[in-house]
Structure 1
Amino acid sequence: MPHESAPRWHSCLALLGGDHHVGHDAWADLETRYTEPHRRYHDLAHATAVAHDAEQLAADLPFHERAVVVLAAWAHDVVYDAVPSEDEQRSAEWLRRWLTRAGIADAHIDRAEALVLATATHEALEDDFAAAALLDADLAILGAPPAAYAAYVDNVRQEYARYPDDAWATGRAAVLESLLARPALYLTESARSRWETAARRNLQAELTRCRSVRGDHR
């Protein structure tokens, strides 16, 4: 039985003139990939949450631009082997392949692909509101209540279970320090007002724990 969010995928595809039957095949493939057994956080629930938040943040964009953002949101982690940059590249290729089969216009395909690729660096041009909406939605979990944030960290840790605790703590600390060094974690005003304060609190608390694992008590 298709996931409850499947109709929104199909409606976005239809808004862009996509073939209905190809859209169903694409969604089936997407569901299969997001339910792979090695996924703990980067699953269909995550993709759907990102799609929902991105659509809300992009509410002021024209309908066809919002549709592209939503499709990119669902596809942004469709390939996930915990290999940074490579996963995003392959996810972008997956989306391009299916949108091409569905008969979507090249301009929309190019845009959707670029949005997925932007999730590798989490950087967007100052006037690229669509990318900002997607990137902020992808980081919404950082501003979750402490218990939900802890569950997120635990699930991501399981996805990187091949690394020993000290290596994980070192790598994770570097990510956290990089995030905390940003003037703002979120690119849109709406996301900043909703999540910035809680996100910084969560990140700082996790960084303290990572440093403790490494014996660094700064």
Structure 2
Amino acid sequence: MVKVLKKTFLELLIKYTDNKNLVNELWNEIETNYSSKKRHYHTLQHLESLLIQCIKIKREIRNWDAILFTLYYHDVVYNPLKSNNEEKSAELAEIRMKKISVPDDTIKLCKRQILATKSHSKSPDSDTNYFTDTDLSVLGQNWKKYSEYYKNVRKEYRIYPDLIYNPGRKKVLTHFLEMDRIFKTDIFYKTFEAQAKQNIQQEMELLS
């Protein structure tokens, strides 16, 4: 798992810099942050799952490098006690990408894509919709995988008792159910929408 993630990351960065020490330093930061003992869902395994999904729809993506930068940095800052994780992740991504001379248009797109994972609303940019759909694809997995997902999310918020956590979680799930479409692209909609709604409804019942 880590080998594939690292290989893909290194191959991406060497397009922009020949400083191998810097490239390894940036990978180590990614690996360390996503390997935090406080993380149970937002981990390297999450990145691997996203990478697998992204590769499947690579032919649909216009700026592949931006998608990869977004993938690696979208949860690089993650603190369940804070509500600005996406903003902080986008800021860090910008700093790191500028350090290796990534073009401004790619940096701006990456930042927008990271921020889009906050609400997962439909974007006028198709690449962004593909990434947010990829990020939500866990919702449409079979019940066994979905239950592993929501249990791991609960572990990340273990500081909160059920009395506080459950209403907050239900608010998040309701947000998805109230969307016209959870998945904005046709390929993800056809593949995951029905199962996602079924899973969310089932989790809502467990939280009641």
* Partner SS, residue 120 of structure 1: coil
Equivalent position of 1:139 in the other structure: 136
Equivalent position of 1:10 in the other structure: 10
Classify 1:59/1:32 alpha carbon distance in 2 versus 1 (closer, same or farther; 3 Å). same
Residue 77 of structure 2 aligns with an amino acid whose one-letter code is V
User: How far apart are the structure 2 equivalents of 1:210 and 1:19?
Assistant: 51
Residue 77 of structure 1 aligns with an amino acid whose one-letter code is D
* Partner SS, residue 59 of structure 1: helix
What is the Cα deviation at residue 10 of structure 1?
2.1
User: How far apart are the structure 2 equivalents of 1:97 and 1:19?
Assistant: 18
Equivalent position of 1:108 in the other structure: 106
Contact 1:47 1:76 in 2 (8 A): no
* Partner SS, residue 121 of structure 1: coil
User: How far apart are the structure 2 equivalents of 1:133 and 1:163?
Assistant: 32
Paired residues in the alignment total 206
Equivalent position of 2:161 in the other structure: 164
Residues 19-55 of structure 1: CA deviation (Å, up to 9, x unaligned)? 4523322111100110011001111110221233234
What is the Cα deviation at residue 170 of structure 1?
0.8
Residue 128 of structure 2 aligns with an amino acid whose one-letter code is A
* Partner SS, residue 90 of structure 2: helix
Residues 96-155 of structure 1: CA deviation (Å, up to 9, x unaligned)? 111111111112111111111111121232x31111011001101101111111111111
Equivalent position of 1:56 in the other structure: 56
User: How far apart are the structure 1 equivalents of 2:129 and 2:154?
Assistant: 26
Show structure 1 runs of 5+ residues with no match: 212-218
Equivalent position of 2:183 in the other structure: 186
Classify 1:84/1:50 alpha carbon distance in 2 versus 1 (closer, same or farther; 3 Å). farther
The RMSD of aligned alpha carbons is: 1.7
Given the two structures, how large is their TM-score scaled by the length of structure 1? 0.88
Aligned match for 1:70, one of 64, 68, 71 = 68
Contact 1:79 1:88 in 2 (8 A): yes
Identity of aligned residues (%): 26
1:24 aligns with 2:21: no
What is the Cα deviation at residue 73 of structure 1?
1.1
Contact 1:69 1:134 in 2 (8 A): yes
Residue 54 of structure 1 aligns with an amino acid whose one-letter code is C
1:123 aligns with 2:121: yes
Classify 1:53/1:113 alpha carbon distance in 2 versus 1 (closer, same or farther; 3 Å). same
Residues 38-81 of structure 1: CA deviation (Å, up to 9, x unaligned)? 0011111102212332343342233xx01211210121011111
Aligned match for 1:173, one of 170, 178, 191 = 170
Residue 208 of structure 1 aligns with an amino acid whose one-letter code is E
Aligned match for 1:96, one of 94, 97, 108 = 94
Contact 1:92 1:116 in 2 (8 A): yes
Given the two structures, how large is their TM-score scaled by the length of structure 2? 0.92
Show structure 2 runs of 5+ residues with no match: none
